[in-house]
């Protein structure tokens, strides 16, 4: 059985999308990061870094614990043989765009949001630096999608990995220049219209409401 520990964030939704796309049975455990539940000893035993998401799969012969959103998607792809080519150039292209998100849009948008919305002191240099880099990265994806339906060949973990952060970035930076990224907007519509994606987002909505009351 697969136990997924997560929360409703762009990172936290990635493995839920993959689990729903693959039709796998799993138990969803909501880890309220606003209440610090990711820092409890129980969760740190699964992910020493104290971040969601994390996945534990227990079988008759072994238990696998996997953390970091990109790693969970690769694990599930290799388990099922879906959404990640098994070898060759197509595999590496998919992995490249998967980890483009892990090292790019996620960290940059997260830093922009922190300095723009949450920092106790407004630091114009930091705000502008992360705003520009976030828009640049979104622009790279927009250019990538100008003549293709999905980010890397067929629909893959690269699309699932990028979806939440792109959707967040397009909304948050809409008046900062993101409104012009028409290819990216069209792609988010394609991803968001998939039945499994709709089911994943609704499942997270319901689980968060049940958790927080």
In this prediction, residue 60 carries a pLDDT of 79
Q: How does pLDDT run across 59-104, given as a tens digit for each residue?
A: 878 899 999 999 999 999 999 999 999 999 999 999 999 999 999 9
Distance between CA atoms of 133 and 139, rounded to whole angstroms?
Answer: 10
- 92 shares its domain with 189: yes
Does residue 21 have a pLDDT over 90?
yes
133 pLDDT band, cuts 50/70/90, is very high
Q: Indicate the helix (H) or strand (E) that contains 54.
A: strand 54-58
Quote the domain boundaries for residue 112: 88-194
On whether the CB atoms of residues 75 and 66 are closer than 8 A, the answer is yes
Residue 38 CB partners (closer than 8 Å, separation 6+): 7, 31, 47, 50, 51, 52
- 94 shares its domain with 177: yes
Does residue 213 have a pLDDT over 90?
no
- Structural domain count of the chain: 2
Q: In the numeric block, which tokens belong to residue 111?
A: 């830093």
In this prediction, residue 186 carries a pLDDT of 98
Higher pLDDT, 60 or 148: 148
Q: What is the CATH number of the domain that holds 7?
A: 3.40.30.10
In the predicted model, what is the mean pLDDT of the chain? 96
Q: What is the CATH number of the domain that holds 153?
A: 1.20.1050.10
DSSP 148: -
Q: Indicate the helix (H) or strand (E) that contains 192.
A: helix 182-192
Residue 90 CB partners (closer than 8 Å, separation 6+): 152, 153
Mean pLDDT of 41-59: 96
On whether the CB atoms of residues 88 and 31 are closer than 8 A, the answer is no
Query: Which strands make up the sheet holding 63-67, listed edge to edge?
Result: 26-30, 2-6, 54-58, 63-67
């Amino acid at each position: 059985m697969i136990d997924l520990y997560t929360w409703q964030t762009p990172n936290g939704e990635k493995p839920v999308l993959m689990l729903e796309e693959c039709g796998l049975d799993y138990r969803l455990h909501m880890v309220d990061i606003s209440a610090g539940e990711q820092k409890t000893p129980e969760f740190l035993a699964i992910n020493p870094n104290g971040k969601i998401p994390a996945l534990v799969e227990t079988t008759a012969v072994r238990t696998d614990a996997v953390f970091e959103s990109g790693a969970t998607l690769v694990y599930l792809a290799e388990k099922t043989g879906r959404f990640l080519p098994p070898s060759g150039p197509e595999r590496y292209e998919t992995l490249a765009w998967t980890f483009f998100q892990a090292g790019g849009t996620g960290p940059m948008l997260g830093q922009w949001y922190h300095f723009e919305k949450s920092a106790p002191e407004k630091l114009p240099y930091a705000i502008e630096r992360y705003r520009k880099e976030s828009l640049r990265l979104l622009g790279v994806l927009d250019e990538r999608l100008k003549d293709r339906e999905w980010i890397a060949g067929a629909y893959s973990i690269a699309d699932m990995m990028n979806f939440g952060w792109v959707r967040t970035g397009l909304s948050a930076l809409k008046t900062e220049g993101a409104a012009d990224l028409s290819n990216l907007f069209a792609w988010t519509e394609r991803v968001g219209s998939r039945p499994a994606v709709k089911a994943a987002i609704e499942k997270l909505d319901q689980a968060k409401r049940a958790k927080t009351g």
